[in-house]
Amino acid sequence: MNSEGIKEQLLESAERYAKTMLSHCTPGLPGLMAENYGIVYDQEFDRLYVHFLFPNLDERERTLLATLSRCRREVKLGAASRRDHPNPEAHLDHEKILVECEADFVSLRDSVKQLRIEARLSPVQRDLLQDAFLSVPLLAI
């Protein structure tokens, strides 16, 4: 299997692991209030996902990567939905929030880079870090 295939398999396995753990090993999750459920679910999903991919990092580093992952997802979703606002005022609000999310992403990405964790990662983990955490693919506009 080539490197891309291995990376894809690891990402899929991490997603399955996180979903399975959340479904069967988090007894407090179903009891959360509805307004908090989505936030807590996403945070726990990212934490488990990152732990699966980077078990050799310490908790602080994994927490930062989980936060970066969530921020990256927000940037991708915001960029993908930027044309979904027919109202000019809603479009401007969306753009303002997207700019804030992008700034947060850059700040978190810089914090991760300052940790210099790459030396402790395998070649596949370094590729995963770069492709699935430190970069945001450009979207057709």
117 found inside a domain = yes
Where are the alpha helices (H) located in the chain, listed in sequence order?
A: 3-24, 34-53, 59-80, 88-115, 123-129
Structure tokens at 84: 């979904």
140 found inside a domain = no
Give the predicted TM-score (pTM) of the model.
0.83
Which are the contacts of 70, defined by CB distance < 8 A and separation ≥ 6? 42, 43, 46
141 found inside a domain = no
For residue 92, the model assigns a pLDDT of: 83
Dump pLDDT digits (tens) for 72-107: 988 888 887 767 667 778 778 888 888 898 999 999
Total domains in the fold of the chain: 1
C-beta of residue 61 within 8 angstroms of C-beta of residue 115: yes
Residue labelled with tokens 């997207």:
98
Domain carrying residue 88: 3-134
Dump pLDDT digits (tens) for 35-62: 565 676 788 899 999 999 999 999 999 9
Which of 107, 37, 121 shows the shortest CA–CA distance to 71? 107
For residue 141, the model assigns a pLDDT of: 43
139 found inside a domain = no
